[in-house]
Copies of this chain bind each other. A is one copy, B any other.
Amino acid sequence: MASERDHKPEAPGDGPGEGTVGKALAVLDDIAARGRPVRFAELLETSPFPKATLYRFVQVLTRQGMLSYDPERQTYAPGLRLVRLAHAAWQASSLAPIARPHLDRLSRATGETVHLAQLDAGQVLYVDKRNAREPVAMYSQAGKVGPAYCTGVGKAMLAYLPEAELAPVLQRQAWHPFTPKTITDAASMRAELAAIRARGHAFDDEEHEPGIICIAVPILTRAGRVLGALSVTSTTARTSLEGLTEHLPEIRRAVEAIGDEAQDWRFPDQAAE
């Protein structure tokens, strides 16, 4: 620590200090975020990099297999090498492998949709899921991201985040009012988070999608650090928030088991930032 090595003046991802690698990864993120194949010119429009520089990044990433290129349409999309790498990440750095049997049990016990999520860059990252029927665990479902401020798992994790980490995360939220019930500012959120801490679990009361409700409980280490969250989702047609609390004992059992096992397996740190 040379006294000015540790300040972070720039946005995450690029900026000086993150080097060439950081910039290239920012380009990769950009392409991934669009959700469809993009042309070079499209990228260039919003890119902070000059033409030749962006061009070289895209070339290197393509040669590396991090992007795939469609020569006919001249479009770029995230490449298959990522799928291979992510499999390793999913196994080594997510709660999914540990949580698997507990998700299975919870799914069978409740018959409802079950989600396992972790925080990544201030967003909810779903790392596993059980549908009411299918027992498969794959990227069709894992890897999806969602907002933290209007999902049960998101709020459950935020509620137990230390202030130093919470503040920057709240600042990053989009606060888009998906439904009339969506919480749309940091102050209201802090009140909600206090309520969640008081009762030990979070609800999603149609805050993201109308008709969809869920109950979520955070997964914590013994020391109280947030690892992730588990939720059981249903519809207003089928039950109510009070109805969902029926599953609390089962959820609690799963959450505690996962937290304990994660502790013993000495789990990699997954910073929210």
Contacts and interface: CB of A to CB of B under 8 A. Distances in A.
A201 B125 CA distance: 39
Contacts of A60: 18-19, 21-22
Interface string A20-54: 11101100110111011100000000000000000
A84 interface: yes
Contacts of A271: 65, 68
Interface string A60-100: 11011110111111011111111111111111111010001
Contact of A89 (B64, B71, B72, B83): B83
A137 interface: yes
Contact of A87 (B13, B24, B121, B144): B144
A1 to B, nearest CB: 13
Contacts of A69: 268-269
A75 to B, nearest CB: 7
Contacts of A200: none
Q: Which among A69, A70, A93 has the highest number of chain B CB atoms within 10 Å?
A: A93
Contact of A92 (B24, B37, B85): B37
B139 A90 contact: yes
12 contacts: A13-B64, A21-B61, A35-B88, A35-B92, A69-B269, A77-B92, A81-B121, A87-B139, A87-B144, A90-B143, A128-B140, A131-B136
B65 A121 contact: yes
B84 A85 contact: no
B83 A94 contact: yes
A72 to B, nearest CB: 6
Interface string A87-117: 1111111101000100000000000000000
